[in-house]
Amino acid sequence: MNRALRLLRRRLVGSVFVLLIVVVGTFFLLEAAPGDAVDAYIGSIGGDAGLAELLRQRWGLDQSTGTRLAAYLWALLHLDLGHSVAFSRPIRDILLERLPNTLLLMGSATALSFFLGSALGIVAGARPGSFRDRFLSIGSLALYAVPGFWLALVLVIVFAVDLRWFPIAGIETIASGKTGLARAADIIHHLVLPVTALGFIYLALYLRMMRAGMAEVWRQDFVLALRARGIPRRRIVLAHVARNALLPLVTMLGLQSAQMLGGSVVIESVFSVPGLGRLAQEAVTARDTPLLLGIILISAVLVVVINLLVDLAYAFLDPRVGASEAGA
């Protein structure tokens, strides 16, 4: 426990610097993009020159880049994320509204790809070179090669338009007035397709990694020893080969969480899920710098937290990791 706390403290200090770099970097990146929030807005409504000036003044865009960055960081220090001009609302409210949807989508998709992927990986890796292995390996490769948006559109056409098993879009039935369990069931019903689309793309990764890891472990001496001792094959597969092959998958899980946020931009747009990914795209299009910074910040926190959890899980799965951290 003590070891874990020390790891936590060290990570938190490092994370603050990571977040600061991310915020300042993003600010300048968006600053470098041509056009500002007023350009993005006025292109959609038209208006005279005075109007653009009026809006720039109201939105504080007539200030210099340095002033705006300083003002933003100062507000951030007071835990104020600012006001979104593209949505005319406080950014904190917008993020709090969208975050649960993204977490739900990402969490479910990650769980699906991790558990189903590693389970299938174990099936394939139990007997490398068997028919089952070949079938799963080729199948997963094909799945991995499919672009995410295409898979999403196919799922929509087959399961939402033709079969009508699932709704096409949204996170829940509009203005349904459902509460409690009925609402939860409604949300699950809406999430089946987006979670499948997002999860299936990454499933192949876990499957192939698990399978490759297991193939490696099979060749090691201790497996031979286990077999010589007459341990049942089932037990060897699950308790020894699979467990040893699991470590890289956990590392992958941490890395993947960051990537999945990117993948959710597409999936959230296709399925009209009001999440952070779609919001990020809208923030860039509208050149809403504070909103994008808020999203990046919350995503960065998310990634840092997940990686911390992964490290802790690592320490649990592999005693060697914890030992080296404790010694440092």
Partner 1 sequence: MPQFILSRRTLMTASAALLASTALPSIARAQASGGRLVVAADSEPPNLNPAIVASNGVFFVASKVVEPLAEAAYDGKDGLAPRLAVSWEGAADGLSATFKLREGVKWHDGKPFTSADVAFSALQVWKPLQNLGRTIFKDLVAVDTPDELTAVFKFGKPTPFQLIRNALPVVTSVVPKHIYETGKIEDNPANIAPIGTGPFKFAEHKAGQYYRLTKNEDYWGENQPLLDEIIYQVLPDRAAAASALEAEEIHLAAFSAVPLADLDRISKVPGLQVVTKGYEGLTYQLVVEINHRRKELADLKVRQAIAHAIDKDFVVKTVFLGYAAAATGPVPKNDPQFYTPDVETYPFDVAKANALLDEAGYAKGADGKRFTLKLLPAPYFNETKQFGDYLRQALAAIGIDAQLVNNDSAAHQKAVYTEHAFDLAVGPPVFRGDPAISTTILVQSGIPDGVPFSNQGGYKNEELDAIIEKASETLDASARTELYKEFQKKVAADLPLINVAEWSFISVARDSVKNIANNPRWAVSNWADTAVEV
Q: Which residues bind partner 1 (CB under 8 A)?
A: 33-37, 39-52, 54, 58, 85-89, 94, 97-98, 153, 156-157, 160-161, 164, 167-171, 174-175, 269-272, 274-275, 278-279, 285-287
Shortest spacing between CB 260 and partner 1, in angstroms = 19
Please identify, using beta-carbon distances, which residue of 167 and 322 lies nearer to partner 1: 167
Pick the closest to residue 317 from 256, 249, 255, 257 (CA basis). 249
Please identify, using beta-carbon distances, which residue of 87 and 314 lies nearer to partner 1: 87
Secondary structure of residue 272 in the 3-state scheme: coil
CA 261 to chain centre: 3
Please identify, using beta-carbon distances, which residue of 263 and 322 lies nearer to partner 1: 263
Pick the closest to residue 264 from 283, 279, 252 (CA basis). 279
Q: For 45, what's the count of Cα atoms within 13 Å in the CB-facing half-sphere?
A: 12
**DSSP assignments along 230-261, one per residue:** T--HHHIIIIIIIHHHHHHHHHHHHHHHHHHH
Please identify, using beta-carbon distances, which residue of 170 and 254 lies nearer to partner 1: 170
Shortest spacing between CB 177 and partner 1, in angstroms = 11
State how far the alpha carbon of 327 is from the alpha carbons of 24, 305, 318, in Å: 34, 23, 15
Shortest spacing between CB 32 and partner 1, in angstroms = 11
Please identify, using beta-carbon distances, which residue of 252 and 286 lies nearer to partner 1: 286
Shortest spacing between CB 136 and partner 1, in angstroms = 31
Shortest spacing between CB 111 and partner 1, in angstroms = 24
Distance in angstroms (rounded) separating the CA atoms of residues 124 and 211: 6
